[in-house]
Structure 1
Amino acid sequence: MRLNLFLVEVALAGSLLAFGSAAPAQPAAAGAPPVPLAGPPTNAPNAPSPANAAQVPKPGDPYAAFFPSPKNTPFFRPDQIPWKTNGEGLLEYNLFGNPREPGPYAVLLKWLPGHYSTPHYHPNARYAVVISGTWWTSTSNVQDVTKTYPLGPGTVVTDVIGTVHWDGARDEPVVLMLMGDGPSPNVKVDKNGKPLGAVEF
């Protein structure tokens, strides 16, 4: 239950970021103890930190005087994210956890134009937020990229446990924030929706 609530909170935050807005902060109840923030666990070596964030104001930045200290708020700009290749046509940036290992995780995935997964399902639920681009998806057991449905930025998606789907990018890159509880492999299926025995991450 706690993981599901955390994933919903992260998904909503991601959709708000995609729209460029933020929800107003809610004041704490009088006398209430501080509530720990749900953030990345300590096993998040790729997350922005004072040691790896290339954080300086851009030339001519009119807000340079207010630039946040990297000791307090390290960040990566979109062009600084250290993507790693995850197969042909797919890039991955691990925010925290690992979808290949037990426990909660969150990753950014960048689908390159023309890349699609094949029909598959997951043994655990997965939650996605479309950050940029248009994500094309289908729930058919047969792959036909001309018969996919477009999901734009800010869309929040759930891959229900054990249900077949596949997705990809057409003529532009697509960035997703993907969350869940690992391990969460893709179990490929045939045209009848039966497992092929092929598992990939």
Structure 2
Amino acid sequence: MNTHILQSAPRLALTAAALLGSLAAALPAGAEEPSTAGMEMINPATMKWGDAPASMPKGAKLAVLYGDPGKEGPFVIRLKTPGGYKVPPHWHTQSEYLTVISGALYLGAGDKMDASRAHALKAGGFHYLPGKAHHFAFTKAPTVVQIQGTGPLDINYLDPKDDPSGKR
């Protein structure tokens, strides 16, 4: 066995440590974190909830996480509904991507509100809804859903009498 290599191993380790220390000292003292320009970071405690728009049945709260759902471009919103909340049959011009954050959202396809044909989407569940698809939704318990898509986001009720905004 070559004892010269074994005897020089501690010296080699010391030299490597000194080299690494020199490299670290050579870095700028004010080295900054990578830029966060353009990023959005929002924790639940700092979300700003307000009443959902007049086009939605009363009782829901909405928080805009990204973008402006009323304008062209990408958006992400959260909708918080009480138990027993119902959105009558309607459709949207643009596609939606929906994720249930908490509770359960019951979704059904078609022109009539038929709870027996609704599918329960539980916390963590995902739903893709193509634009112009007729559907309805309801909750049995308080529920939070995240909706993302490309704006402007609209809601077109199949029966104009269901539109809570009074626009017929």
Shorter-chain TM-score bucket reads 0.5 to 0.7
Cα contact 1:112–1:174 (8 A) shared by 2: yes
- Which of 141, 153, 157 aligns to 1:184? It is 153
The residue that corresponds to 1:122 in the other structure is 92
Q: Confirm whether residue 131 of structure 1 aligns to residue 113 of structure 2.
A: no
Q: Which runs of 5+ in 1 are unaligned?
A: 1-33, 41-46, 49-74
1:84 alignment partner, one of 50, 75, 83: 50
Q: Does 1:153 align with 2:123?
A: yes
Q: Give the distance between the partners of 1:199 and 1:122, measured in 2 at CA.
A: 16
Which has the larger Rg? Answer: 2
CA offsets per residue over residues 51-91 of structure 1, 9 Å max, x none? xxxxxxxxxxxxxxxxxxxxxxxx343xx533111151211
Query: Which residue does 1:162 correspond to in 2?
Result: 132
Displacement of 1:115: 1.0
CA contact (8 A) 1:120 1:187 kept: yes
Q: Distance in 1 between matches of 2:102 and 2:70?
A: 25
Deviates more, 1:82-91 or 1:111-120: 82-91
Instruction: Give 1:199 deviation, angstroms.
Output: 9.6
TM, length-normalised to structure 2: 0.65
* 1:128-162 Cα distance to aligned partner (Å, 9 max, x none): 11111011111021113454221101111111111
The CA deviation string for residues 180-201 of structure 1, in whole angstroms up to 9 with x for no partner, is 00002011114xxxx88x697x
* Paired AA for residue 122 in structure 2: G
SS of 2:87's equivalent in the other structure is: coil
Aligned length: 126
Q: How far apart, CA to CA, are the structure 1 residues paired with 2:145 and 2:125?
A: 10
Confirm whether residue 173 of structure 1 aligns to residue 142 of structure 2: yes
Higher helix residue share = 2
Q: Residue type matched to 2:47 in 1?
A: I
Structure 2: which 5+ runs fail to align?
1-33
C-alpha RMSD of matched pairs (Å): 2.7
* Change over 3 Å in CA distance of 1:76–1:155 after alignment to 2: closer
- Relative to 1, partners in 2 of residues 1:89 and 1:145: Cα closer, same or farther, differing over 3 Å? farther
| Structure 2 equivalent of residue 15 of structure 1 | none
**Is 1:113 matched up with 2:83?**
yes
Q: How far apart, CA to CA, are the structure 1 residues paired with 2:164 and 2:92?
A: 10
SS, match of residue 106 in structure 2: strand
Between the aligned partners of 1:37 and 1:128, the Cα distance in structure 2 is 27
- Structure number with the higher strand fraction is 2
Letter in 2 for 1:131: I
